Amino acid sequence: SNISALQKARYSYQPKLPTALRGDITKITCSMGAPTESIADQAEVKALFENTYGAPIARFTEGSNDFASKTINAGVILSGGQAPGGHNVIAGIYDALKKANSSNKLFGFLRGPDGIINGDLVEIDDKFMNEYRNTGGFDMIGSGRTKLETEEHFEKSRKVCEANGINSVIIIGGDDSNTNGAVLAEYFKKTNAGITVVGAPKTIDGDLKNEYIETSFGFDTATKTYSELIGNIEKDANSAKKYWHFIKLMGRSASHIGLECALQTQPNICIISEEVEKKQMTLAQVVEDVTQVIVKRAARGDNFGVALIPEGLIEFIPEVGKLIAEINDLLAHDADEFAALEDGEAQKTWLAGKLSAEAAPVFTSLPAGIQAQLLMDRDPHGNVQVSLIETEKMIIEMVGKRLKELKAEGKYNGKFSTQAHFFGYEGRCAFPSNFDADYCYSLGYSAFILLAQGLTGYISNVAELHKPADQWVAGGVPLTMMMNMEQRHGHMKPVIKKALVELDGAPFKLFASQRDKWAVETAYTFPGAIQYYGPTEVCDQPTKTLLAEKA
C-alpha cells in the first residue's frame, strides 16, 4: 500500500478543540459584540459593502441553536498555495456539519475557485474524508490561483450553488482570497441569493494576521519543517567547518518565515526584508553587512556559517525594487519589441538603452545570471516571480567579489566556500503539526457554526493560541473589519491589509537583541523534526513568533 506508518497513525489523531466547541453542537450559540468599523477608509469601505459592513464580532458560548432543524449544504474551496492543515479545515467543517444534521452535505469544489465557477465539484463522504484527516497537502480537492472577482464569476458561482442546492460557501485562502470572499458575500446578499460565505485564514507566509487573526494556518508546520532542516545544516556546518550555507526561504513578500526560523535556529545571519526597506539600504550595503559577519568569523578561524535570506528580499531593496518596477513596465509596454530580440545579450542591450539613469547602474551591478532572471516570464499579473530568482546565489556571488577585494587590501584572510539552498515547497505539504492540525480543525468547526447561524462575510477565528487548545477562544470576525483601500492596477480597491514584519514588534526585537551575538559566535539551536507524539512541550508548542507576540 502507499500509506506510510505515520499516515496511518495520523488518521486516528483526534484534533483538540477549544472547550466551547466540545460537546453537543446544538448547545452552542453566538454571542455578538457591538457593530464594527474597518481599520481605515471607513466611508469608502462602507459604501462598497452596503449589506455586510459593520457586522459584529461573534464568539461561541453555551446556549441553544436551531441547527438540527435546518438543512445546510456547504461547498468548500481551497485557494492559492498549499499550506499544511487545509484538509483538517475541511474535516472540521465536515464533522460539525454532520453532527448538526446527518442529512447535511459538504461538497468540495475542485482545483480552487475554478471549481465553483465551472461547476466542478464532488460530494465528500466519510470514506473520502477519512483518507485525508491530519494529512498535509491540498490533494483532496486540489487548489488553484484563479481569482474569484468579476461579476461574471459571481453569477456563475451562484448558478452552480443553486444547481447543487448549496447554501453556504467556505473559502480557505490568504488575504486576496478572503478579500474576494468578502466581495462575494456582499454580492450574494445584495442579490438575495441566499448563500452565505465564510473564510478561513491560510498561508505559510504568515502575512494574513492582525489584531484578531493571530496567525494563518500552515505557518507553524512550514517554519518547523524549515527549522529542522536549517538546524541540521548548522550541525553539518559546525562539524565540517568548511562551508558557508546560504538558504533562501519561501515567503513571497513578508519575512515572517525567515524571522521565525531564525528564532528557532539562531543562525549567523538572517536578513529581514522589512528592515532593509525601512533603512533604505542599497544592495551594496546588504552585501557589505553579510561580508562583515564573514570577515569577523574568519578572524576567529571560523570559515563557516549559515545565512537565511527571505525570498522577497530583492523587491524590498529600494533601488532594486524600482529597477524591477521599471523592467515590469518596459516589458508590459514594449512586449512585441522585446519578444523580437534575438537572445539574452540583445535583451540586455535593449534594456540598458531604456532604463532610467538611476536604474541602469543597479542593473549593471547585478550578476549576469540574476540579470537574465529579471527578464524571465512574468506571472499573469505582470510581476516578477520572486520564488524563481536565485537571490541566495546573487548574494553569494556579490559577497565573494567583495571578500576578494578585502583580501587584496589585507583585511580578510579566510576561505569562502559556499553551498546554496532554497527551502520552499518542501514545507508546504508536510503532515500538519499538532498545532496546525488542532487549529485547522477548530477553524473548520467554527466556520460551520458561523454559517449555520446565517452569518456571512466572516472569517473563522480562533484566538488565544499561545494557550493550550482547550483554552482557545473561537468565533468569527467580519471581513470588512480588516479592510482598507489600496491602489491595485491603477484603481483603489478594498483589500485586507497584508501584515509585514513589524520592526517594533516583539518577535523582531527579540531577534535584534540577539543577532550580533549569533553572528559571530556559533550559537546554533537544533529543533529537530516535528514531533507528533510525545511530551506536550515537544509536540504542541506554537511558534516563537506567536509566543513573543502574546507574551
Query: Could you tell me the three cell numbers for 73?
Result: 449544504
User: Which of 210, 211, 218, 207 has its CA nearest to residue 176?
Assistant: 207
Comparison of 149 and 236: residue with beta carbon closer to ligand FBP:
149
Residue written as grid cell 467543517 = 93
Provide, rounded to whole angstroms, the least separation between the CB of residue 423 and ligand FBP: 11
- Are residues 78 and 121 in contact, defined by beta-carbon separation less than 8 angstroms? no
Give how far the C-alpha of residue 411 lies from the chain's centroid of Cα atoms, to the nearest Å.
42
**Which residue from 203, 223, 434, 453 is in contact with ligand FBP, where contact means CB under 6 A?**
203
Site for ligand FBP in 156-185 (CB under 6 A): 174
Which residues fall in the annotated binding site? 81, 175, 203-205, 242-243, 250-252, 311, 425-428
Provide, rounded to whole angstroms, the least separation between the CB of residue 172 and ligand FBP: 10
Segment holding 6, helix H or strand E: helix 5-11
Provide, rounded to whole angstroms, the least separation between the CB of residue 375 and ligand FBP: 19
Please work out, in degrees rounded to the nearest 5, the angle formed at the alpha carbon of residue 504 by the alpha carbons of 499 and 506: 85
State the DSSP code for 20.
G
Q: With binding defined as CB under 6 A, does residue 90 bind ligand FBP? A: no
Comparison of 238 and 387: residue with beta carbon closer to ligand FBP:
387
**Interacting stretch for ligand FBP, rule CB under 6 A, among 20-28, 198-206, 450-458, 540-548?**
198-206
Counting residues that bind ligand FBP (by CB under 6 A) gives 13
Q: In what order do the strands lie in the sheet with 105-109?
A: 28-32, 58-62, 473-478, 458-463, 196-201, 168-173, 73-78, 105-109, 121-124
Give how far the C-alpha of residue 233 lies from the chain's centroid of Cα atoms, to the nearest Å.
24
Query: Could you tell me the three cell numbers for 526?
Result: 537544533
Neighbour count for residue 375 (Cβ, 10 Å): 18
Comparison of 363 and 422: residue with beta carbon closer to ligand FBP:
422
**Interacting stretch for ligand FBP, rule CB under 6 A, among 27-35, 201-209, 473-481, 491-499?**
201-209
Site for ligand FBP in 262-321 (CB under 6 A): 311
**Which residue from 387, 484, 514, 522 is in contact with ligand FBP, where contact means CB under 6 A?**
387
Comparison of 60 and 431: residue with beta carbon closer to ligand FBP:
431
Provide, rounded to whole angstroms, the least separation between the CB of residue 96 and ligand FBP: 24
Say which residues have a Cβ less than 8 Å from residue 361's Cβ, sequence separation at least 6: none
Spell out, one character per residue from 119 to 158, where the chain touches ligand FBP: x when CB under 6 A holds, - when not. Answer: ----------------------------------------
**Which residue from 205, 228, 260, 302 is in contact with ligand FBP, where contact means CB under 6 A?**
205
Provide, rounded to whole angstroms, the least separation between the CB of residue 318 and ligand FBP: 21
Burial 477-500 (b: 16+ CB within 10 A, else e): bbbbbbbbbbeeeeeebbbbbbbb
Q: What are the E-state strand segments in 237-362?
A: 244-249, 269-270, 305-310
Comparison of 17 and 447: residue with beta carbon closer to ligand FBP:
447
Query: Could you tell me the three cell numbers for 245?
Result: 550555507
Provide, rounded to whole angstroms, the least separation between the CB of residue 482 and ligand FBP: 16
Spell out, one character per residue from 428 to 457, where the chain touches ligand FBP: x when CB under 6 A holds, - when not. Answer: x-----------------------------
**Which residue from 204, 330, 437, 469 is in contact with ligand FBP, where contact means CB under 6 A?**
204
Which residues fall in the annotated binding site for diphosphate? 81
- Are residues 272 and 545 in contact, defined by beta-carbon separation less than 8 angstroms? no
Given its phi and psi angles, is residue 45 left (phi above 0), alpha (psi -120 to 50 degrees) or beta? alpha
Comparison of 45 and 83: residue with beta carbon closer to ligand FBP:
83
**Interacting stretch for ligand FBP, rule CB under 6 A, among 80-88, 95-103, 163-171, 341-349?**
80-88
Which residues fall in the annotated binding site for substrate? 203-205, 242-243, 250-252, 311, 425-428
**Interacting stretch for ligand FBP, rule CB under 6 A, among 200-208, 341-349, 458-466, 492-500?**
200-208
Sign of CA dihedral 239, 261, 312, 275: negative
Provide, rounded to whole angstroms, the least separation between the CB of residue 112 and ligand FBP: 10
**Which residue from 15, 18, 80, 92 is in contact with ligand FBP, where contact means CB under 6 A?**
80
Helix (H, G, I), strand (E, B) or coil at 421: strand
User: Which of 159, 146, 164, 149 has its CA nearest to residue 191?
Assistant: 159
Site for ligand FBP in 332-371 (CB under 6 A): none
Site for ligand FBP in 237-266 (CB under 6 A): 250-252
Comparison of 214 and 302: residue with beta carbon closer to ligand FBP:
214
Provide, rounded to whole angstroms, the least separation between the CB of residue 141 and ligand FBP: 16
**Interacting stretch for ligand FBP, rule CB under 6 A, among 109-117, 197-205, 276-284, 359-367?**
197-205
Comparison of 223 and 541: residue with beta carbon closer to ligand FBP:
223
Q: Distances in Å between the alpha carbon of 282 and those of 67, 86, 276, 351, 500?
A: 59, 39, 8, 21, 20
Task: List, by residue number, the catalytic residues.
Answer: 205
User: Which of 93, 95, 99 has its CA nearest to residue 75?
Assistant: 93
Given its phi and psi angles, is residue 85 left (phi above 0), alpha (psi -120 to 50 degrees) or beta? left
Q: Which parts of this chain interact with ligand FBP (CB under 6 A)?
A: 80-81, 83, 174, 203-205, 250-252, 311, 387, 428
